[in-house]
Amino acid sequence: MYLSPIFNYYRIGRFVFALTLLISFQMAGLPYAIPSLRNILIIYIFIVLFRLVVASERINYFDFLFDIVFISAMVYISLGVYSYLTLLYLFPIFFSSILIKTKKIFLFPIIALFLYGAVYYSYGIIWERENILNIALHFLAFSMIALAGDNLKLRMESQDKYIKRLEDERIKMKGYERLYRVSADLAHELRNPLASISATVQFLAEGRNDKEFIDMLGVETKRLTTLVNDFLLFSRPADAPKEEVGLAEMLRDLIGRQNTDKKITYDAANSPAVIANRTFMEVAVNNILKNAIEASQSEVKVSLGSKPPAIPLIKGGEGGLFSRGGHGSIVIEIDDDGSGIDEDMRDKIFEPFVTTKADGTGLGLAIAYRIITSFGGNIIVDASPFGGAKFTIAFPINHREHRDEKF
């Protein structure tokens, strides 16, 4: 079980408490009356501080056991004078019952009882009726606080499951909302060419065989075919078989296929590969590259390299920093010297059917985003140093499996 926030608070809290207790005892003059009490507190503070600084990220039963031994030592030194110190047993017992398995919740109450009884035994007063009753009542208190901690743990686990279920439902509903919106946009995009085709067919049925109508029929049919093919491509990248795709070679091939008189510069610092589908990856990057070429005035720059994990790279899907795996990211950057993309459009540019082109379907960048994220990467748009737009595609270096984006 990995370190939880509760355990972090516990480790910090016991250090602050021990330091405060030492200062309080010092102000009250108790260390001069009982020097061993001060020595135990100082040793405890140093060990607790050491555990706070260099402790592993796993919960260690040593921390709870050490606290119980420390409290027992204090009780032993101050027996009959500061009996209220036995209340401190409740803290390690309570936190241990929250953080360990239910079957072991009585482990530390029994250890505390054993050590508390050992204190009485060392003074030779354990068999007195009053002391036996005192020990029994303490064990009852230890057991009750352990049960209370375990009950709180079960409630917290149940609440976490409930919150997770609500979050899953929220994501699902968000997916449905997006699906409804995309469906409505698709219907709108289909309606225009269908209306043109319907009108053309009606004119042809009336015997008007003008070439203009034939050409219109061909244009609108081609537009419908392109729209349907693009939408199918948008919806199914995660189903494609995956392989190791060399990005340097793929980018060289894509740049070589561009039919343009604009300058395209290419810079590759290394030759990384990602696990994806070559065909889909080419479609995604080509859509971005074509957009950059169309938007540029004279030059497009394509660069391939990597960035270490210490550098916050880009924003993730929900606004968090994209830096996964701890080994850095493979980065493709495509810059142009065009007019750029307005800030208020940058969050919408990857939505289906959002376009600034008169003849665009609005699916090019949506397809690119869908493909990239389906294979474990991410993509954002920002301002370019050249004055236009800068598209950044990033993949974690150690990623091996794609993650499906929920619709």
pLDDT bin (cut points 50, 70, 90) of residue 315 is: very low
Average per-residue pLDDT in the chain? 77
Burial of 49 (C-beta count, 10 Å sphere; 0-12/13-18/19+): middle
Q: Provide the residue ranges of all domains of the chain, joining segments of one domain with +.
A: 5-165, 242-396
pLDDT bin (cut points 50, 70, 90) of residue 407 is: very low
Reading phi first (left if > 0) and then psi (alpha if -120 to 50, else beta), residue 161 is in alpha
Copy the structure tokens of residue 312. Answer: 């916050």
Copy the structure tokens of residue 104. Answer: 């072991």
Do β-strands 314-315 and 378-383 pair in parallel, antiparallel, or remain unpaired?
Answer: unpaired
pLDDT bin (cut points 50, 70, 90) of residue 351 is: confident
Higher pLDDT among residues 31 and 289, named by residue: 289
Percent pLDDT > 90 in the chain is 4
Q: Which residue has the tokens 């990239």?
A: 372
* pTM exceeding 0.85: no
User: What pLDDT was estimated at residue 234?
Assistant: 58
pLDDT at 311 over 50: no
DSSP class of residue 405 equals P
Copy the structure tokens of residue 79. Answer: 């027996």
Select the CATH number that applies to the domain covering 242-396 from these four: 3.30.565.10, 3.30.465.10, 3.20.20.10, 1.10.1740.10.
3.30.565.10
Euclidean distance between CA atoms 339 and 295, whole angstroms? 7
Euclidean distance between CA atoms 18 and 10, whole angstroms? 12
Partners of 243 in beta bridges: 276
pLDDT at 7 over 80: no
Euclidean distance between CA atoms 301 and 390, whole angstroms? 9
pLDDT at 28 over 60: yes
Percent pLDDT > 70 in the chain is 75
Higher pLDDT among residues 189 and 302, named by residue: 302
Q: Which positions ≥6 away from 373 have C-beta within 8 Å?
A: 317, 379, 403, 405
Backbone angles phi, psi at 25, to 5 degrees: -65, -40
Q: Which positions ≥6 away from 222 have C-beta within 8 Å?
A: none
Euclidean distance between CA atoms 14 and 10, whole angstroms? 6
User: What pLDDT was estimated at residue 58?
Assistant: 59
Q: What is the pLDDT of residues 212-246, one digit of tens each?
A: 777 777 777 877 776 666 666 555 655 667 888 88
User: What pLDDT was estimated at residue 376?
Assistant: 86
CA 76 from centroid of its chain's CA atoms: 48
Q: What is the pLDDT of residues 40-60, one digit of tens each?
A: 888 888 888 887 777 655 567
User: What pLDDT was estimated at residue 334?
Assistant: 92
Q: Which residue has the tokens 């993730």?
A: 316
Q: What is the pLDDT of residues 242-301, one digit of tens each?
A: 888 889 889 988 888 888 888 999 988 778 888 888 878 888 898 899 888 988 888 899
Q: Which positions ≥6 away from 171 have C-beta within 8 Å?
A: 406
**Which residues in 219-328 belong to E strands, given as ranges?**
243-246, 263-268, 273-276, 299-307, 314-315, 321-322
pLDDT bin (cut points 50, 70, 90) of residue 144 is: very high
Residue 199: CB atoms within 10 Å? 14
3-class secondary-structure state, position 314? strand
Euclidean distance between CA atoms 381 and 361, whole angstroms? 19
Q: Which positions ≥6 away from 254 have C-beta within 8 Å?
A: 282, 285, 286, 289
Higher pLDDT among residues 186 and 273, named by residue: 273
Position 177, amino acid? E
